[in-house]
Amino acid sequence: MTEKRPTNQLTGRGGSICLALVLTGFAYAQERTMPASPSAFDPHDISGFWELYFDGQRVPRAQLTDAVTKAVLDAQAAKDAKAVRWCNILGMPFLMGVNRPLDIRQGKREIVIAPESAVATPRHLYLDRSAHINADVWDPNTVGDSIAHWEGDTLVVDTIGFEPEHGMTAIPGGGFRTADSRLVERFRLLKNGSLLSVMFTWIDPKVFRTPHTYEFRYTRAPRDYEARLPVTCDPFDEERTRFLTGSPQSGNSARLR
């Protein structure tokens, strides 16, 4: 017994050290590993499929400046109609209102919003930078440059850098986006994470007398939701062209215009 004791003590200490090392390794590995099971409602994670229902929009009329005359609005509407007719990428704010669920995925450094639409590119909301891309480097587009940060339980997204001649520029409630527009969005989860509220505020002194704010509320899709392919958009579809333009001309004629 006496002879065995040191061995047992050694084995015991070695075992403890071994166990401690294994546990340390286990903890380290676990720290770098995503949770295997779905976590409870996290107010700082907006990942999911989100659907905008018919009663999910509260949009007041925008207060437009005097410079935004009926002629200006008509010209803008004509450009938007052309973008739809030719299946252009429509961009913001159209994509936040598509009639299919938005796939919103929140990573470590950015949040991506992918609409089920053939005419909208995904949005990238960057969490890892606090300044916009320098205008000398930025190539304006239909979704703009978005940076995001959390203020309490609200995700605040600031977007500038829109391409005024591309896409559908109409803003819900009136007005349109321009190269100078700034959009501030406030994302917040409601009702135990089953609703996502987004407050949109457009700021553009040339278009709006006061910042124009409206709210969309999205409903979380079931966990087993399967994303579908977007409906394709064919600018050379004659029937579609006749419908959109009200013209008896065929698509072939339209193609040559």
Partner 1 sequence: MIALLKTAAVVFIGFSAVQAQQVPDLEGGWTRLDTAGGGSYGGVDALFPRAVLTPEAAARIPPPAAPRLSFAENRVHQVGEPYIVTDGGCGGATGFGGVDVNSAAFFIVQTKDEVLITRENPSGRHIYMDGRKHPDSSRWAPTNGGHSVGRYENSELVVDTTGFTNGRVAFGNGLRSPESHLTERYKLSPDGNRLTVTYTWSDPKIYQKPHVYDISFERHPKGSYPIENWCDSGDPKQRQSIVPPEQVP
- Give the span between the Cα atoms of 112 and 48, in whole angstroms: 11
* Identity of the residue numbered 40: A
- Give yes or no for residue 135 binding partner 1 (CB under 8 A): no
**Which residue's CB is nearer to partner 1, number 59 or number 84?**
84
**Which residue's CB is nearer to partner 1, number 14 or number 60?**
14
Report the DSSP pairing between strands 212-220 and 154-160.
unpaired
- Interacting residue with partner 1 among 116, 158, 215, 238 (CB under 8 A): 116
Report the DSSP pairing between strands 48-58 and 154-160.
unpaired
Which residue has 């410079």 as its token pair? 67
Q: C-beta of 114: minimal distance to partner 1 in Å?
A: 4
Q: C-beta of 162: minimal distance to partner 1 in Å?
A: 11
110 strand-pairing partners: 126
- Give the span between the Cα atoms of 7 and 11, in whole angstroms: 6
Q: Which stretch binds partner 1 (CB under 8 A): 10-18, 176-184, 190-198, 207-215?
A: 10-18
- Give yes or no for residue 77 binding partner 1 (CB under 8 A): no
* 195-215 burial: b if 16+ Cβ within 10 Å, else e: ebbbbbebbbeebbeeebbbe
- Interacting residue with partner 1 among 76, 92, 93, 106 (CB under 8 A): 106
CA-derived radius of gyration, the chain: 26
Q: C-beta of 62: minimal distance to partner 1 in Å?
A: 26
Report the DSSP pairing between strands 110-115 and 102-106.
antiparallel
- Which residues of this chain interact with partner 1, rule CB under 8 A? 8, 11-12, 15, 18-19, 22-23, 25-26, 29-30, 32-36, 38-39, 47-48, 82, 85-89, 103, 105-112, 114-122, 124, 128-129, 133, 138-139, 141-143, 145, 163, 166, 223-224, 226-227, 229-230, 232-236, 255
